[in-house]
Structure 1
Amino acid sequence: MRHRLAGILPSLRLRLVVVFAVTALSAAVAVSGIAYWLNRDAVLTRTQNAALDDFRKMLGDHAGTLPPEPRCDQLRDAANAMADTTQTYEVLLIDEQPDGSPCAVTSDDGFTLGDVPRPLQEAVNEVRPLDQGNDAPYHLYWQRVTQDGTPFLVAGATVIGDGPTGYLLKSLEAEQDDLNSLAWSLAIASAFAVLGSALLAQAAASTVLRPVQRLGEAARRLGEGKLDTRLTVSGTDELAELSRTFNSAAASLERRVADLSAREQSSRRFVADMSHELRTPLTAISAVTEVLEDEQDNLDPMIAPAVGLVVSETHRLSELVENLMEVTRFDAGTARLVLDDVDVAEQVMACMDARAWLDAVELDAPLGVRARLDPRRLDVILANLIGNALKHGGSPVRVAVRTEPAPDGGEFVVIEVADRGPGIPESVLPHVFDRFYKASASRPRSEGSGLGLSIALENAHIHGGEITARNGSERGAVFTLRLPRDADRLAEDADTDADTDAHDGTGGTRRVEGSGTEGSGTEGSGAEGDRRQDEGSGEENT
């Protein structure tokens, strides 16, 4: 019922008004009904008793004094005398004449024996045996009837000692009019009670809902990140206690978020500092490994495998450091676009040519699709997506370029990279862009760092674009890159945000353009761990 009521009346204020009104209406109807029936019973009983008492007295005073077997004119005179009273009722007298024929006379020709219900006639004429509980053979009986919409009181009794039988007919129309007026008065009073309850409900709803609305507004601001939001507390009622609880929770949340933000900032600074500190020794180590790599064929066969391992791990460590530096730039908000007008098809071919992938990739990219974007970051995205497909998918890898309309009226450049491999397990699809995520827990160590697809996604986001992953209709994985053809507005917004952060003192600790990203996508680095298949899924066959 509560769910149904909430669906019909979605507003709490409206529900309060309706509930108040229904309650007031129910109470008013109940009280009015009881008052009406009590007044009705009192009015009818008073009128009925007065008429019956008067009729009993008149019957004894006039009909009881008639001679045995009275004439009709004597009965008529008695009936007229009985009707001549303040109770305004009609009288019907019935008796036998001296010749034995029945005589029925009335004070008004409109009142006949046919107006008397048959059960009432039988009860009036019935002779009751005399005993301790009954001291008279005849009794007075009455009944209320309605004729042509008008209520009447009908009563009758037989005079003891073979006297005549008399009947009374009294109109209750005046009492009915009084009761109708009372009913209308009670109905009007009930309507005013409902109206008053609605106004009272409106006032009560405003009193109750105003603090609730302030609480909802404060919760909305808190959800938007304004953690310094507080409510003004006044009073000691439940709503005041709720406001105090909200303020306490908001203060605790603000402290917790500040602590977590400080820790996150410290962690980012640590990663950034560590990455920069590692670059100096890595530069020296890389120079040594290049020498060892050049002389690897001349080394002792027992030493050559170890040298090869050192060389490969050094390259892997260098790529990891470069990727970590790029991630810290994204986290700190210091990554910026360097825009240029480029031909997308030429950019894709240049990326594949630099990595000797032209023979391994089918390209469907019409020339002339130009876009304003950051060519270096596009190269990083393409290197990761295509390299990932070559290493973990199945040949042939197909790259298609097209345009499609954007919701804001502009256009998107869409680059789709599809392979013919076993595809991506459904459980892995939601995590392919997570940092350091590897689908196979049994093989956490791989050639990649697990950051390639994550960096590619961040580079798409900074352009205002998106990368999605899905499985093809037949087989293989499909990665779809969507970038706006003109990223000028995003670059302007990013520069404005950077200036604001710098003015507020909340910006990143360093701003390095371009450095550290060239190796993040070359040869598909960083992508190997992003789409790692389970054992036996075909990874080694690519």
Structure 2
Amino acid sequence: MSERSPGRLARWLAGLLPTLRIRLVVVFALVALTAAVSASGIAYWLTRDAVLTRAQDAALDDFRKSMEDNAGELPRSMECGQLQDAAEKMAHTTQNYEVVLLGEESDGTRCVAASNRKAFSASDVPAALRRAVNEQRKVEGSNRHPYHLYWQRTTGSGGHPYLVGGAKLIGEKPTPSGYMRKSLDPEQKDLTSLAWSLGIATALALVAAALLAQVAARALVRPVRRLSEASQRLGEGKLDTRLELTGTDELAELSRTFNEAAESLQTRVADLSSREESSRRFVADMSHELRTPLTAISAVTEVLEEEQENLDPMIAPAVQLVISETRRLGDLVENLMEVTRFDAGTAKVVLDDVDVADQITACIDARAWLDAVELDADRGITARLDPRRLDVILANLIGNALKHGGSPVRVSVRTEDDTLVIDVSDQGPGIPEEVLPHVFDRFYKASASRPRSEGSGLGLSIALENVRVHGGEVTARNADGGGAVFTVRLPLYGELPEDEESDEGRERR
């Protein structure tokens, strides 16, 4: 579970921050913010402690000295007036604090003397501090100063901060105790100004980090973008694409690796293209070379076929075998030549307005399939197609259905929007599922599942290529009730791919 958590976090961040530039800016900003906040926080707390410590030490030292000078020699049988005079004298210092003195007259009367009765009184002294002073001990929440001086920081009404200190005069009991209260508002204002300054500095550091991150991201993303564009061009077949090498960092090494991979790919593709071209040229040359002797052989077989009834019955089967195999060899040569034209990209399409039903009827009639084919096509369906290539498509599909599925073969025609749809279905056992993906492959025969075919294995692939040059598609499937169904989809108005449209087709359009 813990091993997959970083992956989920990375995917979540990738979804939240889709581009590399945004991620870099955010990371830079977070690092800068963390560093600035940490530095500002440390600086603030160190400065705060120094400012408050300096202020309280100065005030407490002055208070201690003032107590020694003004209240340390109070007589034991003092009067409340004397205590009040001492309190007022103690308050007149440069530290500007308020004073409260607590004592007793000789008759036990309790005396409370305050330098400013309206602002500071004995009730304003924290109870914990008063107990610490009276018991001469340190308690939680207060601190002890030399000469038994205690202090505590408190917050008064309105949220104003104060420093409250107290001590008991050393002498015989009853000994008066004195308390001072100094406002820390000036120090608090200074600290607030410091906090604002640090906040502004943090914001400026964040902005500066964002700007630097933009510059760094641009410098990092630019080579990555160049690599992406180069990869796209390479994928489009532009194998001469190369990246300019600059620097010695990891991105430069990645560019160098890309160039080496592109160079290797270009070399391999060139080698494969050369071999393919040689193979294609060999097939084309052999097909042409075979046509010359095949023409002579075909002429002889025609003569033999005419004289077949007058031949010796012992040699008649051999003559019939020669005739059928010669025709098969002729079909194979023609198919090979057609395939080489497709491979070379020289196959041309001559478009014309074709009545589909008439064209299918002509194809069936020319091959004497009228009794074996059921046609379901309305008259008047016109499409802009190449009649010769449509005939090749229909002949191969219907012939394949008759060979492997038997008769009757059903051919149905319909239109869907701007598409002509032709279905060729048979009554056979169908096509095995493992064979379906390969039925249009060249020289592929499913001999294990169907009777031996006398074809070349090129008929369906030639039909596929003829459909493609029209800008259409052909698919194969099994019908629910049994049998195979080949479906041809062709554009009604001759919308061909630009790179496959012939010059002759353009002129006629």
Q: Fold-level match, TM-score > 0.5?
A: yes
CA gap of 1:400–1:442, structure 2 versus 1, over 3 A, is closer
Q: Does 1:431 align with 2:441?
A: no
Q: Does 1:159 align with 2:172?
A: no
CA gap of 1:468–1:119, structure 2 versus 1, over 3 A, is same
Aligned residue for 2:108? 100
Distance of 2:168 and 2:101 partners within structure 1: 9
Distance of 2:215 and 2:184 partners within structure 1: 46
Aligned residue for 1:530? none
Aligned residue for 1:174? 186
Q: Does 1:376 align with 2:388?
A: yes
Does the aligned pair in 1 maintain the 2:447–2:453 contact within 8 Å? no
Match of residue 2, structure 1, among 1, 10, 20: 10
Distance of 2:146 and 2:184 partners within structure 1: 30
Does the aligned pair in 2 maintain the 1:336–1:491 contact within 8 Å? no
Distance of 2:130 and 2:18 partners within structure 1: 64
Q: Deviations over 1:76-99 (max 9, x none)?
A: 111111111111111111111112
Q: How does 1:412-491 map to 2 (within 5 A)?
A: 412-440=419-447, 446-487=453-494
Match of residue 121, structure 2, among 112, 127, 131: 112
Aligned residue for 1:28? 36
RMSD of aligned Cα (Å):
2.6
Distance of 1:137 and 1:117 partners within structure 2: 20
Aligned residue for 1:315? 327
Distance of 2:504 and 2:311 partners within structure 1: 55
Aligned residue for 2:150? 141
Match of residue 59, structure 2, among 41, 51, 56: 51
Match of 1:415, SS? strand
Aligned residue for 1:503? none
Aligned residue for 1:341? 353
Match of 1:64, SS? coil
Consecutive unaligned residues of structure 1, counting only runs of 5 or more, are 130-135, 406-410, 500-542
Distance of 1:55 and 1:138 partners within structure 2: 11
Aligned residue for 1:529? none
Greater CA drift, 230-239 or 194-203: 230-239
CA gap of 1:398–1:181, structure 2 versus 1, over 3 A, is same
Distance of 1:256 and 1:326 partners within structure 2: 28
Distance of 1:99 and 1:396 partners within structure 2: 138
Q: Deviations over 1:317-357 (max 9, x none)?
A: 22211111100000011111122222001111111122222
Q: How does 1:493-512 map to 2 (within 5 A)?
A: 494-495=501-502
Greater CA drift, 423-432 or 89-98: 423-432
Aligned residue for 1:121? 130
- How many residues get paired? 488
Distance of 2:247 and 2:160 partners within structure 1: 63
Distance of 1:231 and 1:206 partners within structure 2: 18
Distance of 2:277 and 2:146 partners within structure 1: 112
Aligned residue for 2:363? 351
Greater CA drift, 332-341 or 479-488: 479-488
Does the aligned pair in 2 maintain the 1:398–1:419 contact within 8 Å? yes
Does the aligned pair in 2 maintain the 1:361–1:398 contact within 8 Å? yes
Distance of 2:231 and 2:304 partners within structure 1: 63
Distance of 2:465 and 2:291 partners within structure 1: 23
Match of 1:494, SS? coil
User: TM-score, normalised on structure 1?
Assistant: 0.84
Return the letter of the residue paired with 2:113. Answer: V
Distance of 2:162 and 2:15 partners within structure 1: 52
Distance of 1:94 and 1:30 partners within structure 2: 46
Deviation, 1:243, is 2.5
Distance of 1:47 and 1:37 partners within structure 2: 15
Aligned residue for 2:293? 281
Distance of 1:196 and 1:498 partners within structure 2: 64
Q: How does 1:7-18 map to 2 (within 5 A)?
A: 7-18=15-26
Does the aligned pair in 2 maintain the 1:126–1:138 contact within 8 Å? no
CA gap of 1:63–1:421, structure 2 versus 1, over 3 A, is farther
Return the letter of the residue paired with 1:100. Answer: G
Consecutive unaligned residues of structure 2, counting only runs of 5 or more, are 1-8, 139-144
Return the letter of the residue paired with 1:430. Answer: P
CA gap of 1:16–1:353, structure 2 versus 1, over 3 A, is same
Does the aligned pair in 1 maintain the 2:470–2:495 contact within 8 Å? no
Deviation, 1:292, is 4.6
User: TM-score, normalised on structure 2?
Assistant: 0.89
Distance of 1:486 and 1:425 partners within structure 2: 35
Higher relative contact order (CA 8 A, sep 6+): 1
Q: Does 1:86 align with 2:98?
A: no
Return the letter of the residue paired with 1:428. Answer: V
Greater CA drift, 441-450 or 307-316: 441-450
Greater CA drift, 86-95 or 413-422: 413-422
Aligned residue for 2:342? 330
Does the aligned pair in 2 maintain the 1:128–1:137 contact within 8 Å? no
CA gap of 1:305–1:119, structure 2 versus 1, over 3 A, is farther
Return the letter of the residue paired with 2:84. Answer: R
Match of residue 241, structure 2, among 229, 254, 264: 229
Q: Does 1:243 align with 2:255?
A: yes
Distance of 1:146 and 1:102 partners within structure 2: 28
Distance of 1:146 and 1:424 partners within structure 2: 92
Distance of 1:197 and 1:43 partners within structure 2: 31
Does the aligned pair in 2 maintain the 1:16–1:201 contact within 8 Å? yes
CA gap of 1:178–1:226, structure 2 versus 1, over 3 A, is same
Moved over 6 A (4+): 442-445
Does the aligned pair in 1 maintain the 2:412–2:423 contact within 8 Å? yes
